[in-house]
């Protein structure tokens, strides 16, 4: 038996030199709106380590903006704002990163559109598909490029799997299974939302499966449960099954209330007609007939490398004049799936149709060109963040 051919891993930060996007495109200076946990532990470290300039930071209070700016270790010093409109008008800001809570996004983005600057927005765009559709339609009407920060797509193991699929190593997919264990049994603004497990945390994994399936999900069934005595106001466990047109079978299980961090784990099995793949938090395994199994541990982590990848893919698309793979309209398809799954869970697992989203979709057609395989692995420069969600 011969060894499975291993793909090139992403270069480390030193080898990557001065180019963050791998294609020689100039970095766009970021105006960061939001000073919460996601901005603090994900966005700011990713930009600093990848040498992406942060020109401005906007917080609800000047104290919040000052605290976040004090953590900035990249070049220069960001200007501070408490007005998102004023940040958008700053001539040094070339791309606006919206890292606020989903509530109130429509009003915020409406206020940002007149500036005409590209928008990279945390997922979900909104807690309802209807509001998210309005956001996308208004951005398109204003001619403002909008991408959604589906950063799991650019986690180092996910980038390898994307490469294997693009190379045809797995053949036609027939089975996908994702099992994730984490713990968010806490009282917070996000776990207070009854649909959090589906519309926010679980949206990562539903988007991931749709990203790899490269075909529409027709129907979904889901069951969800509360853990006895839990503090969170949302369900903390789900099991989901997806229906496609064809032989592909896909399932997802998330238990978000483990008793200890030792139980945190992520496992994704992807099985095709020619080969199999297995992904964890930090590894990607490829199993092919007549080859020895290969397990690759690429440098980097989901956070912050995935965030750098989402930024890079957006900047690359802007430079090429193409639609980014995580454009707003593609996000609507993942949010439509999540909303249908949540609805199914509230109707005893009844099969629910997934609403069709019209308009352009570039994800399936551009995985190879938009894959940020050359984004430098930057976790070693900024340390690690607890795994699980962002």
pLDDT in the model for residue 24 = 66
pLDDT per residue over 244-267, tens digit each?
999 999 999 999 999 999 999 999
- Across all residues in the chain, what is the average pLDDT? 89
The pairing of beta strand 249-255 with beta strand 173-181:
parallel
Among 251-255, 346-350, 373-377, where is mean pLDDT lowest? 373-377
pLDDT per residue over 299-342, tens digit each?
999 999 999 999 999 999 999 999 999 999 999 999 999 999 99
19: confidence class by pLDDT, cuts 50, 70, 90? very low
Q: Torsions phi, psi of 66, nearest 5?
A: -65, -40
pLDDT in the model for residue 359 = 75
Could you give the 3-state DSSP secondary structure of residue 240? Answer: strand
Q: How many CA atoms lie within 13 A of 389 on its CB side?
A: 25
Q: Which numeric CATH code is attached to 7-151+377-382?
A: 3.40.50.720
The correct answer on CATH 3.30.360.10 for the domain covering 153-300+328-360 is yes
358: confidence class by pLDDT, cuts 50, 70, 90? confident
User: 């299974």: which residue's tokens?
Assistant: 177
Q: Which helix (H) or strand (E) holds 268?
A: strand 265-272
- 179: CB partners within 8 A, 6+ apart: 252, 253, 265, 266, 267, 268
Neighbours of 383 (CB within 10 A): 11
For the cut 90, the answer to whether the pLDDT of residue 238 exceeds it is yes
Classify residue 17 by burial, with Cβ atoms within 10 Å: 0-12, 13-18, 19+: exposed
The pairing of beta strand 146-148 with beta strand 249-255:
unpaired
- 297: CB partners within 8 A, 6+ apart: 282, 283
Q: Where are the domains of the chain?
A: 7-151+377-382, 153-300+328-360
For the cut 50, the answer to whether the pLDDT of residue 293 exceeds it is yes
pLDDT per residue over 196-206, tens digit each?
999 999 999 99
Closest alpha carbon to 173 in 211, 212, 134, 144: 212
For the cut 90, the answer to whether the pLDDT of residue 100 exceeds it is yes
pLDDT per residue over 67-92, tens digit each?
999 999 998 899 999 999 999 999 99
For the cut 60, the answer to whether the pLDDT of residue 361 exceeds it is no
Q: What's the whole-number mean pLDDT along residues 93-117?
A: 98
DSSP-derived letter for residue 261 is: G
pLDDT in the model for residue 55 = 98
pLDDT in the model for residue 171 = 98
pLDDT per residue over 125-153, tens digit each?
999 999 999 999 999 999 999 999 999 99
23: confidence class by pLDDT, cuts 50, 70, 90? low
22: confidence class by pLDDT, cuts 50, 70, 90? low
Q: In the structure encoding, which two tokens stand for residue 69, read together?
A: 């700016």
pLDDT in the model for residue 26 = 86
362: confidence class by pLDDT, cuts 50, 70, 90? very low
The pairing of beta strand 294-296 with beta strand 237-243:
unpaired
């Amino acid at each position: 038996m011969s060894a499975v051919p291993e793909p090139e891993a992403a270069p480390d930060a030193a080898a990557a030199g001065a180019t963050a996007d791998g294609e020689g495109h100039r970095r766009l200076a970021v105006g960061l709106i939001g000073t919460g946990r996601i901005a603090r532990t994900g966005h700011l470290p990713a930009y600093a380590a990848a040498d992406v300039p942060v020109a401005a930071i906007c917080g609800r209070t000047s104290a919040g903006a000052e605290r976040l700016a004090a953590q900035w270790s990249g070049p220069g010093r960001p200007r501070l704002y408490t007005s998102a409109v004023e940040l958008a008008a700053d001539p040094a800001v070339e791309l606006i990163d919206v890292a606020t809570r989903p509530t109130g996004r429509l009003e915020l983005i409406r206020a940002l559109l007149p500036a005409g600057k590209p928008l990279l927005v945390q997922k979900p765009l909104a807690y309802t598909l209807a509001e998210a559709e309005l956001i996308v339609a208004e951005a398109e009407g204003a001619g403002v490029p909008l991408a959604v920060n589906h950063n799991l797509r650019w986690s180092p193991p996910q980038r390898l799997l994307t490469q294997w699929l693009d190379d045809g190593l797995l053949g036609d997919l027939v089975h996908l299974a994702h099992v994730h264990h984490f713990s968010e049994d806490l009282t917070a603004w996000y776990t207070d939302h009854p649909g959090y497990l589906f519309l926010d945390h679980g949206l990562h994994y539903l988007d991931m499966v749709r990203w790899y399936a490269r075909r529409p999900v027709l129907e979904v069934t889901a069951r969800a449960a509360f853990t006895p005595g839990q503090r969170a106001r949302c369900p903390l466990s789900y099991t989901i099954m997806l229906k496609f047109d064809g032989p592909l079978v896909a399932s997802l299980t998330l238990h978000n209330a483990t008793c200890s961090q030792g139980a945190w784990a992520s496992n994704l099995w992807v099985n095709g007609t020619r080969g199999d793949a297995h992904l964890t938090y930090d590894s990607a395994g490829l199993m092919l007939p007549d080859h020895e199994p290969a397990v690759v541990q690429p440098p980097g982590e989901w956070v912050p490398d995935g965030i750098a990848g989402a930024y890079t893919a957006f900047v690359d698309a802007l430079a090429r004049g193409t639609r980014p793979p995580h454009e707003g309209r593609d996000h609507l398809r993942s949010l439509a799936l999540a909303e249908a799954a949540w609805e199914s869970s509230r109707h005893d697992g009844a099969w629910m149709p997934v609403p069709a989203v019209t308009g352009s979709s570039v994800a399936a057609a551009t995985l190879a060109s938009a894959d940020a395989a050359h984004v430098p692995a930057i976790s070693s420069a900024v340390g690690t963040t607890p795994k699980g969600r962002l």
